[in-house]
Amino acid sequence: MQTIRYELIPAQNADGQVALITFDEQGSPVNTMCRQWQSDLAEATARVLADRDQLGDALQGIVLASAKSSFFAGADLKATLRLTPADAPAAFEEIERMKKHFRTLETLGIPVVACLNGTALGGGWEVALIAHHRIALDDPKIQFGLPEVTLGLMPGATGITKMTRLLGLLKAQPYILEGKLFGPAEAQRLNLVHALVDAPGQLLPAALAHIAAHPKAQQPWDAKDYKMPGGTPANPKVANALVVAPAMLTKTTRGRYPAPEAALSAMVEGALVDYDTALRIESRYLARLMTGQVAHNMINTFFFDMNAIRAGKSRPAGVARFKPAKVGVLGAGMMGAGIAWAQASRGIATVLKDVSLDKAEAGKAYSAKLAQKRVDKGGMAAEAAQALLARITPTQDAADLAGCDLIIEAVFENRDLKAQVTREAEPQLAPGGFFASNTSTLPISGLAQASHRPDKFIGIHFFSPVDKMKLVEIIRGKATDDETVARAFDYVQALGKIPIVVNDSRGFYTSRTFGTFVMEGAAMLGEGIPAAVIENAAMQAGMPVGPLAVLDETALSLSVHVLDQTRADYAAEGKSYAATPGELLVERMVREHGRPGRAGGGGFYDYPAGGKKQLWPELRGLFEKADALWQLQDIQDRLLYRQAIETARCLAEDVLTSVHDANIGSIFGIGFPAWTGGALQFIYGTGVPAFVQRADELASRHGSGFALDARTRAALEQHQPRY
């Protein structure tokens, strides 16, 4: 066997033996349910049965252990990506064969004990659930659980059936439908883990002691007097809760995520039948999901692409790791204050500078407010909050920036102002330090002209609100060297955030692509399509909010300011900028109708005091047309395709250099629907030929924004993932 070691070891009881099954996949840092493991599991099960026949009662138990630092990592996801819908029947049979071996081991009548020396997630936790008794290392870094729904899958190797029978239909839902994880201590409180030990060396002795004390064992649901915790769907209280569960789930998924819906169905249907029938129901749902496109999209991005970023695939190689000790932030407004919080909460000394001490202290007060909320909710000790705030030094004096490893400017989007603060603060950098701009649109190479070391100047674009948004876009200017890019990457990871690396251009990647989404929405309003239709279509497609609502939040006036800056930049180059229909409509909203956005009192929406926002009634008379022709699918395609096409153009123009940065950036930066796997995976999941055909149709009806030139099509083919 290549993934499992099997041996008989002495039991604590005289003349007894215990079968020790150690998972140890060769050539892999973790154990997975690869095809070889499935074959080895069958062999290991056969050896247990043979030893049971030969030894009889002398075979006193089975211990499941791991030779890796983790217990078990779960399914072989690369193999899953190669499946097609036609493979569903074979996938079902494969799942059933594996479960048969699980069932054989747990119904021998002798205790099976799992020694959980490390993390067990997904299929790994399902392997742990074979055991009647689970012993875990008491380490808060260890995680257990079933996060399959986050990858478009569901627990299907007994996880749903067993967790439902262990916890009950209602109590199990967060762990199955939301993929909620838990550590050893919580697992013990839930009675999912039965004992904790302090050191790895204590696991096997504890397992042998349990086997000696409990010569007979069966799973709870195999007992004649078993009753499901909380009751089955026949229980009126459970039935009432289940009536609303599908509606609540659809409100969250908008019908775009089949995994949680399938998981809920498997839970409820399985609770109405015997255990073995419930397992078959579970297998059928999983086989359908794992051969479907949504699961492939989400596995590709949330597992492989995310791991590529965590592993530093976009970080220049050969540069020593950088750990910032002191970082300066210029501008204590909403963005600068958020950056200060992100740094201080990660132990980084922060100098927060503004034009006056009052403004700087107001920026620090933002962190005080966030910290107090956490203290009030019990998520942070008062002492920790005080220590965090002590790391932020508000100031109006540039001299206080002396010795900073990094200084980030987060002032208003004005090129002259940014140049001024750069020249003022840059001399205070520590030797070897570097300077960054938090601009969201202005080209970094142009801003770097104010620096005396453009090779040490970079863009670090945070998203608002900084305390909640995980993504940070790192922008390499034309002169930025590899060391600076690598250090920026390390700085972002030190904040616990997700870095993507892009090359310089107007709007970079995220702002440029985000702009196509909101302006396409504005353009459709200009064509007469009702605003409510546009907004609801966007959300039904999976966008977090509609394009008009987003424009209001980010300020229509800011979009007009960017438009003015773009026109000025083009004019300086002797060219004229042709504004898009969406940009022109937004400009009219601000300049003709005095609607600057939410912060200015209203934009596409009104914001009544104490009430819910509502679309501005005047939109009907100004833009909407009763005879406008529209189809829901066309609206959704325009919103999604426009962003995906702009992403493809960024790839062709070398603004983006990797598929993983594009997919992760589009989801975490601009809210591209997670079910698609991101903007480029949306193209690859659709199929490049089919996507191009649909893009050509949209271009013929809605303009050049949807046109894919030969260079862009070639880039898509070149970067297509292969599994």
Buried b (16+ CB within 10 A) or exposed e, 397-430: ebebbeebbbbbbbbeeebeebbebbeebbebbe
| Domain co-membership, 500 together with 515 | no
pTM for this model (two decimals): 0.92
Q: Can you give the pLDDT at residue 507?
A: 87
Q: Can you give the pLDDT at residue 413?
A: 83
| Domain co-membership, 577 together with 457 | no
User: Residue 610 is part of a domain; what is its CATH number?
Assistant: 1.10.1040.50
Whole-angstrom Cα distance, residue 131 to residue 106?
7
CB 675 within 8 A of CB 666: no
DSSP-derived secondary structure for 638-654? HHHHHHHHHHHHHHHTT
Domain count, the chain: 3
User: Residue 157 is part of a domain; what is its CATH number?
Assistant: 3.90.226.10
Active site residue 178: no
DSSP-derived secondary structure for 109-137? SS-EEEEE-S-EETHHHHHHTT-SEEEEE
Judged on CB neighbours under 10 Å (0-12, 13-18, 19+), 539 is: middle
| Domain co-membership, 570 together with 702 | yes
Whole-angstrom Cα distance, residue 583 to residue 563?
8
| Domain co-membership, 24 together with 168 | yes
Helix (H) or strand (E) holding 503: strand 498-503
The residue assigned the tokens 């700087």 is 360
Whole-angstrom Cα distance, residue 160 to residue 278?
9
Q: Can you give the pLDDT at residue 506?
A: 85
Residue 644 lies in a domain: yes
State both tokens at 637. Answer: 């395609």
| Domain co-membership, 368 together with 280 | no
Domain boundary residue, one of 505, 525, 558: 505
Q: Which residues contact 496 (CB under 8 A, 6 or more apart)?
A: 346
| Domain co-membership, 268 together with 346 | no
Q: Can you give the pLDDT at residue 132?
A: 98
Residue 343 lies in a domain: yes
Q: Can you give the pLDDT at residue 15?
A: 86
Active site residue 148: yes
Chunked mean pLDDT (size 10), the chain, 723 residues: 96 91 95 94 97 94 97 92 95 96 97 98 97 97 96 96 97 96 97 98 97 96 95 89 85 91 96 97 97 97 96 96 96 96 97 97 97 94 96 97 97 91 96 95 93 97 94 97 98 97 93 95 97 97 96 93 89 92 96 95 94 95 93 97 98 97 96 97 97 97 95 96 81
DSSP-derived secondary structure for 681-699? HHHHHH-HHHHHHHHHHHH
User: Residue 455 is part of a domain; what is its CATH number?
Assistant: 3.40.50.720
| Domain co-membership, 291 together with 344 | no
Residue 470 lies in a domain: yes
| Domain co-membership, 516 together with 484 | no
Residue 669 lies in a domain: no
Which residue in the list 25, 106, 148, 535 is annotated as catalytic?
A: 148
CB 285 within 8 A of CB 266: yes
| Domain co-membership, 102 together with 241 | yes
| Domain co-membership, 268 together with 337 | no
Residue 309 lies in a domain: no
Residue 91 lies in a domain: yes
Domain boundary residue, one of 487, 505, 523: 505
Residue 347 lies in a domain: yes
Residue 311 lies in a domain: no
Domain range for residue 365? 326-505
Q: Can you give the pLDDT at residue 70?
A: 97
Which residue in the list 25, 43, 93, 126 is annotated as catalytic?
A: 126
Amino acid at 58: A
Domain boundary residue, one of 451, 481, 505: 505
Q: Can you give the pLDDT at residue 221?
A: 97
| Domain co-membership, 134 together with 215 | yes
| Domain co-membership, 240 together with 332 | no
Whole-angstrom Cα distance, residue 415 to residue 565?
9
